[in-house]
């Protein structure tokens, strides 16, 4: 594979749906061109950053590297800005102020409040697998639903809105996948899904302002910034970010994790032999292995260099988390899925000022599900060919047909 082909994977949704091709391409880039200029027709040019240390260093310096104005690769650089402003689009001084609004809710103590509810939901979905009688699509029947339920509980949204939220998040992140998108053009499809979110959440926000409760949705709707009620773009942005960031990511880690276990039966055996010791490390290995968030971008605020390569002010860099998580200089046998991997300093949750707010929640959810599932599931195997979502941003398995015995 030549360097141009390798660099093309970041703008090609089909590349992420073919994990082998993607990892082969990024291995070439890490070795031969770790700061690689990508100029794909129809996309604004950017630099692909594929090595762990560089991803960390850029993420750490949020003064030099801003999230605005370009947070992710965008097909049409002149497309109108989305009608929301969320944490991932913000920089200091606004970013820490807005992050602070919900930060307490996401700390371990805050998340522990949801622990019983999450354990209950995990059991509900494993019971559902039993009801399905020994065969299911683990993505469509379990992984796509369970984390969304947790998020809906967190925001205090009613259970009957669940199907609509599921459809909207899938349309937003699956905008490049013809099976999931609502229009041929990825950017337009994502924008339509965003507008629907906007309308739906505006009603919820109005209600939370009138009848505040103790859920996270109320905390955000009634937050004040510099003495004023939080702005419309910002409050909707917050809801959309939490609803979307907390859902497809965790479901991709859970289902991609099961796929990895099925591909590596020795690791499944290890996990079933000692789940209480190994579920926590297995979950982090699933996040490293699947890296559900494929990238974020940063823009240089002044002229700088990375590994000696000059980057002019205003140029964007793409931080490739799946590539950084397979960096040979950092991880022992990075292409091996190891449920007991320790240490495991993966960068699947990002790093620095924008470090994922949902890490405790995501780990709690994934651990709860596997703690329930592993002891009950026996003789599990693939019942068809798994398929991955076409995406350039967030994704994982789209279908994971399995056959199993379950108690
Ligand atoms: C396995 C599951 C998850 C993965 C892999 C993941 C990954 C990430 C990544 C890579 C970032 C960007 C970090 C950076 O720029 O340095 C991020 C940000 C964020 N995540 Fe997650 N995430 C997951 C689950 C969740 C959950 C469950 C929630 C909440 C309900 C959540 C909420 C957020 C928020 C609000 C941000 C923006 C933080 C900021 O910009 O300050 N995430 N996540």
Domain edges within the chain? 83-293+329-406
pTM: 0.95
pLDDT for the residue 82: 66
Measured in Å, residue 248 CA sits from the centre of ligand 1 at 11
Measured in Å, residue 247 CA sits from the centre of ligand 1 at 10
Q: Residue 84: how many CA atoms within 13 Å on its side-chain side?
A: 24
40-79 confidence digits (pLDDT tens): 998 999 999 999 999 999 999 999 999 999 999 976 666 6
Answer whether 155 contacts ligand 1 (Cβ < 6 A): no
**Residue 263: pLDDT above 70?**
yes
Measured in Å, residue 355 CA sits from the centre of ligand 1 at 7
Closest CA to 154 of 212, 196, 205, 105: 105
Mean pLDDT, residues 258-277: 98
Measured in Å, residue 405 CA sits from the centre of ligand 1 at 34
Residue bearing the CA closest to ligand 1, atom 42: 358
Measured in Å, residue 122 CA sits from the centre of ligand 1 at 21
pLDDT for the residue 193: 80
Answer whether 149 contacts ligand 1 (Cβ < 6 A): no
Answer whether 256 contacts ligand 1 (Cβ < 6 A): no
Residue bearing the CA closest to ligand 1, atom 6: 349
Look at domain 83-293+329-406 and name its CATH class: mainly alpha
pLDDT for the residue 184: 55
- Report the distance separating Cα 259 and Cα 344, nearest Å: 20
pLDDT for the residue 140: 93
Residue bearing the CA closest to ligand 1, atom 15: 354
**What is the β-pairing status of strands 46-49 and 316-320?**
parallel
Measured in Å, residue 152 CA sits from the centre of ligand 1 at 16
Atom of ligand 1 nearest to the CA of 292: 5
* Number of neighbours of residue 168 by Cβ within 10 angstroms: 22
Closest CA to 347 of 317, 321, 320, 319: 321
Interaxial angle between packed helices 186-210 and 162-173, expressed in degrees from 0 to 180 and rounded to the nearest 10: 140
Measured in Å, residue 358 CA sits from the centre of ligand 1 at 5
pLDDT for the residue 191: 81
Answer whether 245 contacts ligand 1 (Cβ < 6 A): yes
pLDDT for the residue 76: 63
- Report the distance separating Cα 228 and Cα 89, nearest Å: 21
| Average pLDDT across the chain, whole number | 92
Region of poorest pLDDT, from 68-72, 195-199, 207-211: 195-199
Answer whether 293 contacts ligand 1 (Cβ < 6 A): yes
**Residue 174: pLDDT above 60?**
yes
pLDDT grade, residue 269 (50/70/90)?
A: very high
Residue bearing the CA closest to ligand 1, atom 3: 249
Residue 127, SS3?
helix
Residue 146, SS3?
helix
Residue to substitute in 114, 243, 245, 287 for testing ligand 1 pocket (most ligand atoms within 8 angstroms of CB): 245
Show the CA angle centred on residue 252, arms to residues 248 and 258, nearest 5°. 150
Q: Could you please report the per-residue DSSP string of 293-329?
A: B-EEEEEESS-EEETTEEE-TT-EEEEEHHHHTT-TT
Report the percentage of the chain scoring pLDDT > 90.
75
DSSP 139: I
Q: Residue 87: how many CA atoms within 13 Å on its side-chain side?
A: 22
pLDDT for the residue 371: 98
Measured in Å, residue 245 CA sits from the centre of ligand 1 at 6
């Amino acid at each position: 594979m030549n360097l141009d082909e390798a660099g093309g994977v970041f703008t090609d949704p089909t590349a992420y749906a073919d994990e082998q091709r993607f990892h082969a391409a990024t291995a070439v880039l890490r070795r031969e061109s770790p700061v690689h200029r990508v100029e794909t027709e129809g996309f604004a040019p950017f630099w692909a950053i594929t090595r762990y240390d560089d991803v960390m260093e850029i993420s750490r310096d949020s003064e030099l590297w801003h999230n605005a104005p370009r947070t992710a690769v965008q097909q049409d650089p002149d497309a109108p800005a989305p009608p929301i402003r969320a944490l991932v689009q913000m920089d200091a001084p606004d970013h820490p102020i807005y992050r602070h609004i919900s930060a307490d809710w996401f700390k371990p103590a805050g998340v522990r409040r949801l622990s019983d509810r999450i354990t209950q939901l995990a059991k509900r979905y494993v019971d559902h697998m039993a009801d399905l009688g020994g065969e299911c699509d683990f993505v469509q029947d379990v992984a796509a639903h369970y984390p969304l339920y947790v998020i809906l509980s967190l925001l205090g949204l009613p259970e009957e809105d669940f199907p609509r939220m599921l459809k909207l998040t899938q349309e937003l992140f699956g905008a490049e996948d013809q099976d999931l998108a609502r229009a041929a053009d990825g950017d337009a499809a994502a924008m339509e899904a965003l507008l629907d979110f906007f309308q739906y959440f505006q009603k919820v926000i109005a209600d939370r302002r009138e009848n505040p409760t103790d859920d996270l949705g109320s905390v955000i709707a009634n937050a004040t910034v510099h003495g004023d009620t939080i702005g419309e773009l910002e409050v909707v942005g917050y809801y959309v970010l939490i609803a979307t960031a907390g859902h497809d990511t965790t479901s991709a880690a859970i289902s991609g994790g099961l796929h990895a276990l099925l591909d590596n039966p020795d690791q499944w055996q290890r996990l079933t032999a000692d789940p209480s010791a190994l579920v926590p490390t297995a979950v982090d290995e699933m996040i490293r292995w699947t890296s559900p968030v494929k990238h974020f971008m940063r823009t240089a605020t002044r002229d700088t260099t990375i590994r000696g390569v000059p980057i002019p002010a205003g140029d964007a860099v793409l931080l490739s988390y799946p590539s950084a998580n397979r960096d040979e200089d950092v991880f022992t046998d990075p292409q091996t899925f190891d449920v007991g991997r320790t240490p495991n300093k993966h960068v699947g949750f990002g790093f620095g000022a924008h470090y994922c707010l949902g890490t405790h929640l995501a780990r709690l959810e994934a651990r709860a599900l596997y703690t329930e599932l592993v002891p009950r599931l026996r003789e599990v195997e693939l019942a068809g060919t798994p398929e991955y979502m076409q995406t350039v941003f967030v994704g994982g398995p789209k279908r994971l047909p399995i056959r199993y015995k379950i108690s």
